[in-house]
Amino acid sequence: MDAGRCRYQFRIALLGDAAVGKTSLLRCYAGIAEPGAPEPTAGVEFYSRALQLPAGPRVKLQLCDTAGHERFRCITRSFYRNVVGVLLVFDVTNRESFEHIQDWHEEVMSTQGPNKVIFLLVGHKSDLQSTRCVSTQEAEELATSLGMAFMETSAKTNWNVDLAFDTLTDAIQQALQQGHIKLEEGWGGVRLIHKAHVPQVPSGRQHPGPCQC
């Protein structure tokens, strides 16, 4: 899809511990096929995809892949204030990554301005059922307590990958329409790329029609 015809740009970040599969999720969604496991992310890397919303305009998604290692936190924190959506990602086979989700959420919330940030909790690597140690029920309970939805994904089998990003994008668009999110000068979370075209009535003298007397 032509990104040049998009009306808005939404900046979305993926946050979570190292090795939970954030890069794999992003590359799967962006259609980047590379053999083998991706290298660990250093700092922040960007991807993009244009999307036609079912009940809205075309939007460009600027997707931020962030490093999960503590030594990169000073870099990744600087991006929190300029995102409108966040996928909080944990590995369903890694209990510690699930237990750290609340810390990631609090870290983002502590940096936010007046605009609302839309979150989605993502349990990744759902194809590894034999080594799973976080149940769907407890993940749903955590999501509810934090005021967000929950979804399980697998980049390996492409399970719910598009749906996760599309669900978050739809929620951002709805919040924008309802006024919970506003366009602000200098804020990178939502940017207006193209204004909606309003047809102009040609100016000039109108020829009188036939007399209806």
* Strand bridging mode 44-52 / 58-66: antiparallel
* Strand bridging mode 85-91 / 8-15: parallel
CA distance 210 to 213: 9
Contact 126, 152 (CB under 8 A): yes
Contacts of 141 (CB under 8 A, 6+ apart): none
Does 12 reside within a domain? yes
Give me the phi and psi of 196, to 5 degrees please: -65, 135
* Digitized pLDDT (tens) for each residue of the chain, 213 residues in all: 455 588 999 999 999 998 999 999 999 998 886 645 555 555 567 888 999 988 778 999 999 887 655 544 556 677 788 899 999 999 999 999 999 999 999 999 988 776 789 999 999 999 999 999 999 999 999 999 999 999 999 999 999 999 999 999 999 999 999 999 988 888 889 999 876 554 444 444 444 444 443
Cα 191 to Cα 2, 6, 105, 137, 209, distances in angstroms: 17, 11, 23, 36, 46
Does 181 reside within a domain? yes
> 91: part of which helix (H) or strand (E)?
strand 85-91
CA angle 48, 180, 116 (to 5 degrees): 60
CA distance 150 to 88: 10
Write down how long the chain is.
213
Contacts of 116 (CB under 8 A, 6+ apart): 175, 180, 181
Query: Number of folded domains in the chain?
Result: 1
Does 81 reside within a domain? yes
Q: What is the pTM of this model?
A: 0.83
Contact 52, 1 (CB under 8 A): yes
Instruction: Report pLDDT for 73.
Output: 56
What is the CATH classification number for the domain harbouring 16? 3.40.50.300
Q: Which domain holds residue 31?
A: 3-192
Contact 181, 84 (CB under 8 A): yes
Does 165 reside within a domain? yes
DSSP string, 174-195: HHHHTTSS---TT--SEEE-SP
Does 212 reside within a domain? no
Instruction: Report pLDDT for 149.
Output: 97
Look at the block and give the residue holding tokens 């990169």: 72
Does 205 reside within a domain? no
Instruction: Report pLDDT for 198.
Output: 45
Helix (H, G, I), strand (E, B) or coil at 113: coil
Contacts of 99 (CB under 8 A, 6+ apart): none
Tokens, residue 99: 């237990």
Does 209 reside within a domain? no
